[in-house]
Amino acid sequence: MVRAVATCQTWVSLALLLVPLVACSPGENAVAKAVPGQKAFRYSLDSAPTSLDPVRASTLYANQIVVNLYDTLYAYKYLQRPYELKPLLAEAMPDISADGLVYTIRLKQGVHFIDDIAFPDGRGREVIADDFVYSLQRHFDPATRPGGTWLWQGRIEGLDDWKKTGSDYAQPVSGLRALDRYTVQIKLTKPYPQLVDTLAQGFSGIVPHEAVEHYGREFSVNPVGSGPFHLVSYDTTKAVLLPNPAFRQEPVDLVFEGYNSDTQGQYGIDIIEGRSPPFLDRLEIAFIKEGSARWSSFTKDNEIQYAGLPNEQVNRVLASTVPVILKPEYAERYHMRSALEAGFVFSAFNMDFPEFGYNENPVREQRNHALRCAIIKGFDWRSRNDSWYSNLGVIFPGVIPPAVPEYDTTLSAASVSYDPEGARTLLAANNWNAENLPVLVYGTTPGPTSRLFYEQFRAWMKRIGYPPENIQLKTYATFGDIAKAWRNSELPLISKGWGLDYPDAENTLQLFYGPNGSPGSNDGNYNNPEYDDMFRQASVMQPSPERTALYRHMNRLIINDCAAITGLSRRGIALWHKNVIALPDRNFVGGRFLKYVDIVQPES
Amino acid sequence: MSTMNTSAVSGIDGHGDSLWLKAARKFKRDRVGMWALFGVFIYAVIALGVVFGFWGGAWADVTGPKWAPVSAEYWFGTNIIGQDIFARALYSTRTAFEVGLLVAIGATALGAVFGAVAGFFSGTWIDEIIIWVMGVLDSVPFILLVAAIAYSLGGSPWAMHIAMIATFWIGTARLVRGEVIKLKTLEYVEAAHAIGLGKVKIIFRHILPNTFHILLVQATISFVAAIKSEVILSFLGLGVKDGMSWGLMISESTFEVLAGFFNNFIAASVLMFGLVMAFNMFSDALQDALDPRSVK
């Protein structure tokens, strides 16, 4: 009898084990493969994000996915250029007090988080103002290892003190409050014209505290948001997202989104007018690091449907680079969009190095200025553009790139003109010669491209009389290692790219603001009191001709001080299959365009 | 004693000439070997020419346009930043010889010493320790060992050389050990013991010289292996740090090939193939010539 009971229990246990397996099967299959007839879009990214928690959405890759899983209060309009903000979870643009210090924002009602076991009954609850407050506070909680604190540090009344006193969520923050269930109030310590821009970034994604508490550290791979998609699988090679079935119905108003039929009509976007996104049944995001592998997958036609054009394929794919035109065989198969990046590449001199930058000896400091200017004259931007960017990039003087409205088209191009003869003359006039030119350690990461960048730089310097043996290579194992060296002020020249966080030149000018010196974002430790005064003055000004004039003056100071070899904005060329209706944009719009993607001929 | 030991070995065939003379005669009769030696000689001349500054000095200069085709000015064309591929390929010959020679000498010397000591003291704890060390080093994958050494040396330009020497000596040591175990039982060694010579003197003055035929062949094998390894390691970013090598050229060519530009790849591959092939054939011929069983 005992034996019979035991056998029965065994069978029951086995049956119970099988029930969930059988129950899971259809879902698992749905995750594993797209169903014929589904509107599936297979997107690609150059790298996998390490976390999908909004507080750690520091990379472009994380940000692209996070904004599709979580709501933010604001976003950039899908098609409007120059970029323009719009309310997303907010009901409208904020009410701003006359002194620019108090922002009052109303949230949309009836928006719910996705269903998840983190909630008491498994059903996603409504998103309320407290969630926004909680989500922003998390950036000031060291336990979350946040990446976006700098956006609000010293800006919101009481928030920094809240962190200093232990980041206790039970304690209120005077400058960050929920006035009622749907109203948020933000009090600033000083005017912050870019505040609304910061509320459009993935960093400000709104999370429910229940999910953070339920998943703990695993929250980074178990996102629970109210965005247009929800995550069903995620590993180092691919993320699969399905549409949020409860996503609010908000029909697309193309005019409001900035649609321009003259420039955007060829993409067929007008078919989404009046329909509520998301339009996809399934969104797959493949993480493919190698450009050639990405390209190969893209051209197979049955794998990824979106890819950037690799540099090495430019001659094969383009009929012309200025203007950018596809060869007919590619134009037949793919949509194409070319756009300048919202950022630039540049090399800043580390002014803390007495050999190149500031020096106690005024005579030497003067000579250092000449040395920096000579190096700038010896830097051949046109060759760099030709070698590495297929002449698609835009070379510009200073640090205000063409992507922002404050870009100065009247600025002299002298600082980006290749002039080796002028460089040699300048060096000689300031008693620089092969015997006394200081050693310049050129830091880089491993890889043939990095090496060739170095060799190119060394060859240019040789032409101006710099001994090649004085341009020394130092290789760091990873990008993280070289970034650490920059932060620790270990290198005399910092060569990097900068992607803007918001379309405002303040975001690049802060790279040269004295108080932001190492380990801050001012890696070059540029420290000009006049510049710093103007930066402080402009930082509290709303966009205006006066502020633009200040920005441009600061830009000229950097050029005149020869503080950086700058700059070039790269042009990205994106291609996507003809059956995909979209206008991809990886700048400020980031991954938000994915919400609007439609497929006109689902796979059979 | 040295006369004695030479005759001891040359006594194998019962003729009056030494092993070396007979080997030289046999080698000269090997046409493939001679052609291979000539090939190696040409490469050596190229490498020396670079060392003395006759050619290849402009390998780092940016002199031409991006991806210039083969022309009278640029014999192998130019790379993506306009550097002369011919100059870079010539300079890389020097790098190959530099790495090959250093590693061959270092690994052979180390293998000779440890192999001789292990063989002489075979069956004792000294032998066991040396064999254990060889076994341990043999069990670590080569690339991982290089990466570990490179990391521990903080990116030193010598990391690659040290890693190669640290692994290549083992093969030589095993062969030398076996040869020494055989040699130490010969009469001339017993005679040396009998007249009271010290062990160190017996090993290094009287036994080791009789393994030179093995060392010479092993050195040529190490030379080739070092060149090939350097190319692989440089391709992976673990090799040459500041300079030029065929491995770096092939590494550069990875994105050029995708753009339909093959000059870097072909130049480095063909030159490397030529040297490795010549050295391999030279090594084979040398091995045949120095084989005591076949020397007549």
Whether the per-residue pLDDT at B8 is higher than 50: the answer is no
List the end-to-end C-alpha distance of chain A, in Å, as a whole number: 57
Per-residue pLDDT tens over the stretch B111-156: 999 999 999 999 999 999 999 999 999 898 888 887 788 778 766 7
Mean pLDDT of chain B: 88
Give the gap in angstroms from C-alpha B151 to the nearest C-alpha of chain A. 9
For chain B, which residues lie within 8 Å of any Cβ of chain A, measuring from their own Cβ? 60-62, 66, 79-83, 151, 155, 237, 241-242, 248, 251-252, 254-256, 258-260
d(CA A279, CA A600): 10
Give the gap in angstroms from C-alpha B255 to the nearest C-alpha of chain A. 6
Q: Residues B245-256: what's their mean pLDDT?
A: 90
d(CA A176, CA A260): 38
Whether the per-residue pLDDT at A98 is higher than 60: the answer is yes
How far CA A114 is from CA of A87, A95, A347, A493, in Å, comes to 21, 29, 45, 48
Domain A346-571: homologous superfamily in CATH: Dipeptide-binding Protein; Domain 3 (3.10.105.10)
**Nearest CA-CA partner of A498 in A518, A512, A477:** A512
B21-52+89-290 folds as MetI-like fold (1.10.3720)
d(CA A544, CA A547): 5
How far CA A83 is from CA of A77, A549, A573, in Å, comes to 7, 21, 19
Nearest to B259 among A313, A448, A459 (CB): A313
Give the gap in angstroms from C-alpha B259 to the nearest C-alpha of chain A. 5
Q: List chain B residues with CB under 8 Å of A460.
A: 62
Written as six digits, the tokens of A383 are 């060759």
Give the gap in angstroms from C-alpha B235 to the nearest C-alpha of chain A. 8
* Paired residues of A284 in beta bridges: A42, A240
* Residue B7, C-beta contacts closer than 8 angstroms, at least 6 positions apart: none
Written as six digits, the tokens of B48 are 């020396």
Per-residue pLDDT tens over the stretch A543-596: 999 999 999 999 999 999 999 999 999 999 999 999 999 999 888 777 999 999
Q: For B255, which residue in chain A has the nearest alpha carbon? A: A312
Q: Residues B214-232: what's their mean pLDDT?
A: 90
Q: Are B83 and A455 in contact (CB < 8 Å)?
A: yes
Q: Residues A133-156: what's their mean pLDDT?
A: 93
- Give the containing element (helix H, strand E) for B48: helix B31-51
Q: Are B258 and A387 in contact (CB < 8 Å)?
A: no
- Measure the CA angle with vertex A46, ends A476 and A327; round to 5°: 120
Q: What are phi and psi of A38, to 5 degrees?
A: -75, 150
- A313 and B CB contact within 8 Å: yes
Q: What are the domain boundaries of chain A?
A: 80-214, 346-571
Asked whether the beta carbons of A595 and A277 are under 8 A apart, the reply is yes
Place of tokens 């000294």: B126
pLDDT of residue A19: 43
Place of tokens 């500054």: B53
Per-residue pLDDT tens over the stretch A455-498: 999 999 999 999 999 999 998 878 888 989 998 999 999 999 99
Q: List chain A residues with CB under 8 Å of B61.
A: 459, 462
> Three-state DSSP class for A394?
strand
Q: Residues A80-106: what's their mean pLDDT?
A: 95
Asked whether the beta carbons of A374 and A429 are under 8 A apart, the reply is no
Q: For B150, which residue in chain A has the nearest alpha carbon? A: A477
- A448 and B CB contact within 8 Å: yes
Q: Please report the DSSP string for A528-586 in residue order.
A: -HHHHHHHHHHHTPPS-HHHHHHHHHHHHHHHHTT-EEEEEE-EEEEEEETTEE-----
Asked whether the beta carbons of A209 and A120 are under 8 A apart, the reply is no
**Where residue B102 falls among pLDDT bands split at 50, 70, 90?**
very high
Lowest mean pLDDT among A33-37, A415-419, B292-296: B292-296
Q: How many CA atoms lie within 13 A of A598 on its CB side?
A: 15
Q: What are the domain boundaries of chain B?
A: 21-52+89-290
* Residue A503, C-beta contacts closer than 8 angstroms, at least 6 positions apart: A82, A83, A197, A342, A403, A404, A405, A588
Q: For B236, which residue in chain A has the nearest alpha carbon? A: A447
Q: List chain A residues with CB under 8 Å of B252.
A: 448, 451-452
* ipTM (interface predicted TM): 0.82
**Nearest CA-CA partner of A234 in A286, A304, A293, A295:** A286
Q: Which amino acid is at A265?
A: G
Whether domain A80-214 has CATH 3.90.76.10: yes
Q: Do domains A80-214 and A346-571 have the same CATH topology?
A: no
Q: Are B82 and A383 in contact (CB < 8 Å)?
A: yes
Per-residue pLDDT tens over the stretch A505-519: 999 999 999 999 988
**Nearest CA-CA partner of A271 in A581, A578, A591:** A581
> Three-state DSSP class for A231?
strand
Q: Which amino acid is at B16?
A: G
**Nearest CA-CA partner of A494 in A398, A388, A352:** A352
Written as six digits, the tokens of B145 are 């060992």
- A329 and B CB contact within 8 Å: no
